[in-house]
Structure formats: structure tokens, C-alpha cells
Amino acid sequence: MRQAVTVLSDEEELFRETVRDFSDREVAPGAIERDRKGAIEPELIAKLFEIGVMSVEIPERFGGAGGSLFLACLAIEEVSRADASVGAMVDVQNTIVAGAISEWGTEAQQEEFLTKLASGSIGSYALSEAASGSDAFALETRAVADGDDFRLTGRKLWITNAAESEIFVIFASVDPSAGHRGITCFVVERDFAGFQVGKKEDKLGQRASSTCELILDGVPVPRKNVLGEIGQGYKVAIETLNEGRIGIGAQMLGLARGSFDAALAYTGEREQFGQKIGSFQAVQFELARMATDLEVARLLVYNTARLRDAKRPFLKEAAMTKLVVCDTAERVSSMAIELFGGVGITTEYPVEKRYRDAKPARVYEGTANMQLLTIARQIQRGT
């Protein structure tokens, strides 16, 4: 493992404190109600744009903050500490939608779409389909050349932010016989003819984060909206998802921190047998394990984000980050419920929500087994 660098600069610390204060004030109070309604309130989304967490890495010339992936991860972590559903929206917007357009877009595409993403438009990333999950490139969505356009036909599933999004990064095959070399990436806008956002999934966790199907019925997409080159979609997707896994690590780190903070506070208040339950050694040991797990998770997220910002190899570390931090979030949030006891399994307290919110992260953007496969291949190659 490459050396971890976790000390924050004064600028980074100030940014984190600003987002933390905002999240405590604006995000945390509505988390339980947001979960019940299954939606993020438009007023909160507007405030997320106002504070700048929806455009951390977008260059200043396009209206963004011009920050690093590391800063984006700090924002995702702090928002997710308050509500992982809101953290999912911030994560996808920054790491894979704006990230893909920043890395692969032409100057004209960046000016058009990054400006929109920085000024109030939400984005979605559409790769998954019914027949292509872990086998992400068994795509059935087709893109057929039609003069100056391509016409996209097919269905996408499990698309985060879809209910709110105006901009969609969509993958389709221009030549099925070419396998992954036929896959091409397109930027599609919500008002394009033949484009429709379908049903919203009723999920176990992260319920306020919209997850919908997309229906493409001969959608005309201008050639100028091809992101990267024709047939280069495979590379766009792989490299973007590698960075996205760091963002998921930050999301789950924030969730785990929120669970630990709640458990620590509760064990310092709850009394049994005439004393605070936090004074019992068994409880202290569990808190110690949780704190240690959190520190390991933090080191992984911060180090991998630093590696990416330094333009050093990070594929193995990104897979390790998603694998370990998702496991940590599930384990820490589960223990938080146990430390809360009977009230922990009620919806009156937020710990059961965090436990439900942890589970989806082990699945999206690559299952745990896919991360293990990536890690194994990298270590066998000596990378």
C-alpha cells in the first residue's frame, strides 16, 4: 500500500468545517422525514448548489469551485454523515458525471454541460441495464447513425438522481459485433424527444436518493454530444467508475462516522444498573473497535483520493477503498443499533436508517466480489 497522507491543509480544514456546519444545520434535521417520503426536497438541493458542493471539481471558468477530488470527498463525507441519500446525490454529481465530462469532453461540451451542472442542473450516469450489471458491457441499448445524429434505443436501470436530473451520461453500442469496442458515450438532455424517466425504485436504503429506469425510444442525439470518441465508451466508463469508487468510499465513511457519533453520544447518556452504559468495558471495547475501523476507512479514502489527484496509479487502492469502507459502514452501523438496544431498531432514531443506507453501497458501482477480482488481478500483476 502506498504511503497515506491524511493531514489537511488550512484550506481543506476550513472547507470541511463549512460543509459540516451546513450539513448539521440543513441536512441532518430532515433525514428521517426525507427517508419516509423517499425524496430530497428541492429547497435543500438549491442550497447544495449555493454552498458549492455540487460543483467542487468543476473549473472556476465554468462556475465551479475548481477544487480537487480530495475536496469533493470531504464534501461527500460530511454530507453523508448527516444523510447518505443526499450524499449519494452529491457523489454522483461530482465524481462520475462532472468527472466524465471534465476528463473526456471537448472544450465546447465542457462549457455547455459543466456550466449547467455548476449552476443548478443535476446529472446522472447511465450504464446499467437489465442484462448488464457486473457484466457492465453486455449492453443492449443501441445507437444508430442517422445523418448528423445518433438515435438511441433501449432501457437503463438503477440510475441514481434520475428523477431530478437534466443531464444524462449514457452508454450505448454503435456496433454490437465489435463487443466493448462498439460502446460509445453520449450526453443526453432530459428534454430530448423520445427520452423518458421511468419508474422510481422502492429501495431498502438510501430511499430519498432517486433510482429510476430510463426509456430511450429512438432519442436523437447530436454527434457533437458524443463524449470522447466513437467506440471509446468502454474506456470512459472504466476510468470514470474507478474514480467513482473513491467517492463511494467517502460516502460510506461519512455514514459510518454518523453511526459512531450517535452511538458514542447515546452510550454517554443511557443509564443501566445505576451507571452510564459507556462505563461498561464491553461497551468500551465495541466503541474502540468502531473507532479503529473508522480510522482505517479514513486512511484508505484520503490516501486514494490523494493518489488520484497526484495522477499516480490508484486502481487497486480504489477497489480496496470501496470494499473495505463499505464493509466498515455496514459493520459500524450494525453495532450502533446494538448499542442503542431496543430503540435502535425503531424509526424514531436514525441508526436503523444508516444501517439500511449502508447496504446498497456494497452493490452499486461494482459489487464486493468485483472489487476483490480487481484487487487480485492487480496484485498478481505486481501493481
Please list the active-site residues.
Answer: 365
Residue with cell 426509456: 215
All three cell numbers of 218, joined, read 429512438
Coil, strand or helix: which one is 324? helix
Say if CB 298 and CB 333 are below 8 A apart: no
322-336: b or e for each residue (b if 16 or more CB lie within 10 Å)? bbbbbbbbbbbbebb
Residues linked to residue 216 through DSSP beta bridges, in sequence order: 154, 195
Q: Alpha helix locations (H) across 97-153? A: 99-104, 107-109, 115-119
Q: Quick one: how far is CA 60 from the chain centroid?
A: 22
DSSP state, residue 178: G
Q: Which residues contact 266 (CB under 8 A, 6 or more apart)?
A: 339, 340
Amino acid identity for residue 165 in this structure: S
Q: Which of 355, 372, 262, 256 has the alpha carbon at shortest distance from 319?
A: 372
Position of cell 446529472?
A: 123
Q: Distance (Å, rounded) from C-alpha 174 to C-alpha 176?
A: 7
In order, the DSSP letters of 64-99 are S----HHHHHHHHHHHHHH-HHHHHHHHIIIIIIIH
CA distance 82 to 41: 15
